[in-house]
Structure 1
Amino acid sequence: MPKHTRRLLRGTGLVCALVLGASACGGSDDDPGQKKVGSGDIRAALKKGGTVTVWAWEPTLKQVEADFEEKYPKVDVKIVNAGTNNDQYKALQNAISAKKGVPDVAQIEYYALSQYALTKSVTDLSAFGADKLAESYSPGPWNAVKNGDGIYGLPMDSGPMALFYNKKVFDKHDIAVPTTWDEYVEAGRKLHKADPKAYITSDVGDAGLTTSLLWQAGSHPYKVDGTKVGIDFTDAGAKKYTDTWQRLIDEKLVAPVTGWSDDWYKGLGDGTIATLPIGAWMPANFASGVKGAEGDWRAAPLPQWTKGADVSAENGGSSLALPELGKNKELAYAFVEYANSGAGVQTRIKDGAFPATTKDLGSKAFQDTEFPYFGGQKANKIFAESAAKVPADWKYLPYQVYANSVFNDTVGKSYVSGTKLTQGLKAWQDSSVKYGGEQGFTVEK
């Protein structure tokens, strides 16, 4: 993972409340051109036209761009790939600091958005009526874009978690699909005993997976109140995670393979990596990157930390936000709402995106979609149910971008040495506490 500058937040005015939580009200209008809101008349802005620069790496936005320009011919949308996640965030911060070249719209992942909201680098979209869209989105993504009383982006997609498993491998070794994480460990033992070259999953330390599993386990490691931050990886939820994942590490039941590497794709293809707990956006990556295993894989609900529970979590996902220094805010918001709440959502779903919008998640057409890669399984039903079961009380640090960048230097050691996972998390906590203090936060632990 690329290292992030330690000066990312320095000197940017760390003020604003970070009290995250879902609210409920309103609905959505598919045509932002019919709205008169806040600082200007969107309909008049669309009629007048202009240019909207969008920094985003999400490929499904290209067709949305074309459709939007066809509907509003006087608007020129320019989508620029300024890099993926951390690379773009660095470029965006540089542009903001220089007050030059700032885009009108920026793709910002949920874990990173609060940082930009805290520093007032992105615009509160409430003035455009975004606060009325609460019921339009599933709880996890909406919670992520809501910061205090402000809405600092619209959810573009979501990543409700599921367990992808190789049915061919499971059937060969007579392994039942695990419904709890204890059963998952047992499945790993049975598989590895039957075939020492096969592993239940791969993991060399992944910040996103770790925080997602903590989220599902009911852990609340991060407490945020404005510039007051608490970090503690020792609560009961965290213990559930560390106890279980430590067994997988100690018994060498997880393949020491880095995610998204050539070896990782190979393992998914040849059955030596038998499961993948990850977000619902993964199917397109299976279809493009693991073509030889088509028909072997299926999706199942995420195993539970407590037998009989029914809880999920989010893993990944992005918003579209309006940088405060961007121009043409009415046009920018019109594009964002079209892409993330209007007709653009269906366009993106057709191109493989996983929606955050409840009407699409709940639609019969969406849930009845058959996935040839998964043997015709209607996997969206599982994903949609997962989205509805995500607790809306999770919080990220307002400098999670930095925290994630040092994950492999701290927790990652637990996968390659005798360092216990609890010790790795403590090192991650200490590093995050130290950095927060350097940035002007009051940090408790």
Structure 2
Amino acid sequence: MRRKTSRLLRGIALLSTLALGATACGGSDDDSAGKAVSASDIQAALKKGGTVTVWSWEPTLKTVAADFQKKYPKVKINLVSERSGDKHYTALSNAISAEKGVPDVAQVEYFAVSQYALTKGLSDLAPFGADKLASKYTPGPWNAVSEDKAVYGLPMDSGPMAMFYNKKVFDKYKIAVPTTWDEYVDAARALHKADPKVYIANDAGDAGFTTSMLWQAGSRPYQVDGTNVKIDFADAGAKKYTDTWQKLIDEKLVSPINGWTDDWYKGLGDGTIATLTSGAWMPANFATGVPNAAGDWRAAPMPAWTKGEKASAENGGSSLTLPSLGKNKELAYAFVEYANSGDGVQTRVKQGAFPATTAELQSSEFQSTKFEYFGGQEANKIFADSAANVADDWSYLPFQQYANSIFNDTVGKAYVSGTKLSDGLKSWQDASVKYGEEQGFTVEK
């Protein structure tokens, strides 16, 4: 390993939530690395059996694991699901660093895949035949797990964006559902004027939402080539976003409530938050978190930056990966392919997961599903169309977790002070550049 990359790894290891550890390079000693694994090799492993330890918080995998074990009775799936978010990544990174207790399969969100891949923490699945599966997935998720000829995971789900809106509120104030962001700003003004307690949306500053909005607007702030990184929030797409969103902030048209809080759920339920632009995985959260508003809400396409455009973006989503230091590679890959490309996909969709596979997204059964919560609307048609219109050239930083952790200290100031959103993005850029350089990246700005 080059000294530069070793320094990069040591730097990342200083943060517990990011610690991949210099010893992650031990993954290059994986016996299966680079060697083709045939279908007969995988079948032989399944016949022989063994245990596969899977770290994942995704609830539908419980049924998938049970079904897999019924099909292959000599295989035991040890599903560890008590952690999610930072706790999950801390545990995974610490295990890789210690070279002890590394799972055979790990769920990794799309924004974090490149970080683990860069530090050799993940096995390349191309030798198992994963590179032949590209056409099965929508562009956004596949782009997130692949680089050149390497494939570092199979997409588990996706989050093509849509705008959820409270039809009851829009009808009450005779507001047309916005199809562009300019119309969205007009709707925000009209709603708040009609009732000062009603806001078009909540936004207290969120890194994931901001990057998704930039993605849709055509901004590409991150360019990554190994340890060479470019960070630039001053392109035309970013200006589209900041010019529009600054109006909402300046005119106090967005509620300053943080998402996923009690106040947020209350606002979604009582109509004081009238829209939510989010990933297609959101309907289940509406049904469980805001049951009193069933029938009030609907889904609509994400507003366009220019009338008639259909560009969308992803928000959320994750993959199943094989950590390099994990064992039972053939069995582990067989389970991942079953869960994310085989029979397990239908099982997960029936339990509410939103697929990343084109076959399910395009199926009449999927698209004709009626959502009782949304008044019987066939919302999957909107979500599937969104998925088909996600540009596949978006990149995340190989230290995106860190970048997201400093969002509120930079961009977040635009929501609580006189700082302009564009200046907040510049501060985010500068802080990310500084961190990247400290970790050994070559950073262009």
Could you say if the C-alpha distance between residues 7 and 69 of structure 1 is closer, same or farther in structure 2, counting changes exceeding 3 Å?
Answer: closer
Instruction: Give the superposition deviation at 1:417.
Output: 1.1
In 2, the alpha carbon distance for the partners of 1:228 and 1:215 equals 21
2:382 aligned partner: 382
1:339 maps to 2:332: no
Per the TM alignment, residue 427 of structure 1 is displaced from its structure 2 partner at its CA by 1.2
Q: Counterpart of 2:331 in structure 1: which amino acid?
A: L
TM-score, L = length of structure 2: 0.93
State the one-letter code of the partner of 1:214.
L
Does structure 1 retain, via aligned residues, the 8 Å contact 2:18–2:90?
no
SS in 1 for 2:22: coil
Cα 1:37/1:156, change in 2 over 3 Å: same
CA distance in 2, matches of 1:65, 1:341: 14
For the 8 Å contact 1:40–1:330, the answer to whether it is kept is no
Determine the structure 1 residue equivalent to 2:418.
418
Describe the superposition over 1:26-63 as per-residue Cα deviations: whole angstroms up to 9, x where unpaired.
xxxxxxxxxx9359711011111110000011111111
CA distance in 2, matches of 1:258, 1:5: 25
- The equivalent residue for 1:61 is 61
Kindly tell me the number of residue pairs found equivalent between the two proteins.
Answer: 424
What letter is aligned with 1:100? K
SS of 1:37's partner is coil
TM-superposition CA deviations, 1:108-131 (whole Å, max 9, x none): 000000001111100000011000
After superposition, the Cα gap between the structure-2 partners of 1:428 and 1:10, relative to the gap in structure 1 and judged at 3 Å, is farther
Match of 1:20 in 2: none
Alpha-carbon separation, structure 2, partners of 1:314 and 1:40? 36
Matches of 1:428 and 1:55 in 2, distance apart?
32
Partner of 1:231: 231
Counterpart check, 1:352 vs 2:352: yes
Please give the secondary structure, in 1, of the residue aligned with 2:370. Answer: coil
CA distance in 1, matches of 2:98, 2:275: 45
Between the aligned partners of 2:353 and 2:235, the Cα distance in structure 1 is: 35
Counterpart residue type for residue 366 of structure 1: F
Whether the aligned pair in 2 keeps the contact of 1:82 and 1:91 (CA below 8 Å) is no
Asked if the contact 1:200–1:273 (Cα under 8 Å) also holds between the matched residues in 2, the reply is: yes
Aligned residues of 2:155 and 2:356 also touching (Cα < 8 A): yes
RMSD: 1.7
Matched, 1:247 2:272: no
Q: Which runs of 4+ in 1 moved over 4 A?
A: 12-15
Are 2:81 and 1:70 aligned? no
Residue 48 to residue 333, structure 1, CA distance change in 2 (3 Å) = same
**Mean Cα displacement is larger for which, 382-391 or 6-15?**
6-15
Q: How far apart are the structure 2 equivalents of 1:426 and 1:40?
A: 53
Q: Which residue of structure 1 lines up, in the alignment, with residue 213 of structure 2? A: 213
Q: Output the CA distance in 1 between the equivalents of 2:355 and 2:21.
A: 35
The letter of the residue matching 1:132 is K
Match of 1:203 in 2: 203
Unaligned runs of at least 5 residues, structure 1: 16-35
Task: Provide the TM-score with structure 1 as the length reference.
Answer: 0.93
**Equivalent residues of 1:125, 1:151 under 8 A apart:** yes
Task: Tell whether 2:8 aligns with 1:11.
Answer: no
How far does residue 86 in structure 1 lie from its aligned partner after superposition? 1.8
Query: Is the counterpart of residue 319 in structure 1 residue 330 in structure 2?
Result: no
In the other structure, the counterpart of 2:406 is 406
- Which 10-residue stretch deviates more, 80-89 or 135-144? 80-89
Q: Which moved more, 1:119-128 or 1:403-412?
A: 403-412
How far residue 225 of structure 1 moved from its aligned partner, in angstroms, is 1.1
- Is the 8 Å Cα contact of residues 202 and 273 (structure 1) preserved in structure 2? yes
Counterpart CA distance in 1 for 2:338 and 2:41 is 16
Counterpart contact for 2:17–2:90, Cα < 8 Å: no
| Residues 6 and 440 (structure 1), Cα distance of their counterparts in 2 relative to 1, 3 Å cut | farther
Q: Tell me, yes or no, if the aligned pair for 2:25 and 2:121 is still in contact at 8 Å.
A: no
CA distance in 1, matches of 2:401, 2:297: 32
Cα pair 1:56 1:81 within 8 Å, conserved: yes
One-letter amino acid of the structure 2 residue matched with residue 354 of structure 1:
F
Query: Per the alignment, in what secondary structure is the counterpart of residue 162 of structure 2?
Result: strand
